[in-house]
Amino acid sequence: MDTKIELHMCANPDYLCVARAVARQVAQISRLKKKETEQITLAVVEALTNVIRHSYGGPCDKPIVIKFNKIKCPDEKKMALEIVIRDFGKRVDPKTIEGRDLDEIRPGGVGVHIMQSVMDKTEFKQAEGSGMLLRMIKYIE
Amino acid sequence: MTNDTNDPRNVIKAIRNHDQDVIIELAGEIDMKCSAKIKDKFKEIFQQKPHSVIVDMTEVNFMDSSGLAVLVVALKRSRINNSALKLVGLTKDVLSILEICRLETIFHIFDTTDEALSK
């Protein structure tokens, strides 16, 4: 049976623990191993933190929608966990979203690099109407 | 100084002095929600000009880039102060985020607090 979970939360760091708990449980139900489960949990938190900080400019009551789907990848012919995160904040050109140079030792700016490192695919798009849409894929081995 | 450990949201479990060193014990899950609180506590600790600050992370089971940023700021403070910042008891998942960001070599990492105190 496909995993289809949709979580609606406001852009408040108080609820990051809720998103984390849901991500962990969905990954476990999707039969991902412990290491992959923690990687997915980390990617979800990094994505939500970026939405709160950059799309909405800080904690607020505006919505974030997180969808978890267990899918069959048509190109790869294997199962994967797909996570889609939609916000309704600032729209940016997806080409400008990239990790910074890691040789520079300073705090912050590594969220995108972490997401890209721990997930098999990450793709940013401008959502219809307003905001951004992030699609992340983790293959189930 | 010891804080109430019954509150799971309380990521700063305890802070204690050991001669000229300060040991801060963190616990639980470190994210954007609590990182500012830890950052402020590090600032307070470094104002005491300790010889070294030992961060016991044995009970930290999740840390994101917000937590990592706090550690980088603390490391910078330690260098300004001529103090040492030592990380103790990192779980595989916490160590992994340091490795992803290629920061594992800039921190002094130890298995136990005793080992960190002796070096």
DSSP result, B43-109: HHHHHT--SEEEEEEEEEEEE-HHHHHHHHHHHHHHHHHT-EEEEE---HHHHHHHHHTT-TTTSEE
Residue B103 belongs to domain with CATH number = 3.30.750.24
Q: Please give the CATH architecture assigned to the domain spanning A4-139.
A: 2-Layer Sandwich (3.30)
Cβ of residue B103 closer than 8 Å to a chain A Cβ: yes
What proportion of chain B, given as a percentage, has pLDDT over 90?
A: 90
**What is chain A's pLDDT, residue by residue, as a tens digit (141 residues)?**
565 899 999 999 999 999 999 999 999 999 999 999 999 999 999 999 999 999 999 999 999 999 999 998 877 678 999 999 999 999 999 988 887 777 777 777 799 999 999 999 999 999 999 999 999 999 998
Does residue B49 sit within a domain? Answer: yes
B1 is a domain residue: no
Closest Cα in chain B, distance from residue A116 (Å): 10
Are A83 and A66 in contact by the 8 Å Cβ rule? The answer is: yes
**pLDDT per residue as tens digits for the range B15-47:** 999 999 999 999 999 999 999 999 999 999 999
The ipTM of this complex is 0.89
Residue B103 distance to chain A (closest CA, Å): 8
Chain B touched by A38 (CB under 8 Å): yes
pLDDT (0 to 100) of residue B55: 98
Residue A114, chain B, CB below 8 Å: the answer is yes
Domain that holds residue B41: 8-118
Domain annotation covers residue B38: yes
Q: Residue B56 falls within a domain, yes or no?
A: yes
Instruction: State whether the Cα torsion A134-A123-A115-B106 is positive or negative.
Output: negative
Tens of pLDDT along A83-100? Answer: 999 999 999 999 888 877
Total structural domains in chain B?
1
The whole-number pLDDT of residue B43 equals 95
pLDDT at A3: 59
| Residue A94 distance to chain B (closest CA, Å) | 21
Question: Domain segments of chain A: what residues?
Answer: 4-139
- pTM for the predicted model, two decimal places: 0.92
Mutate to test the interface with B, among A15, A44, A49, A113 (most CBs of B within 10 A): A49
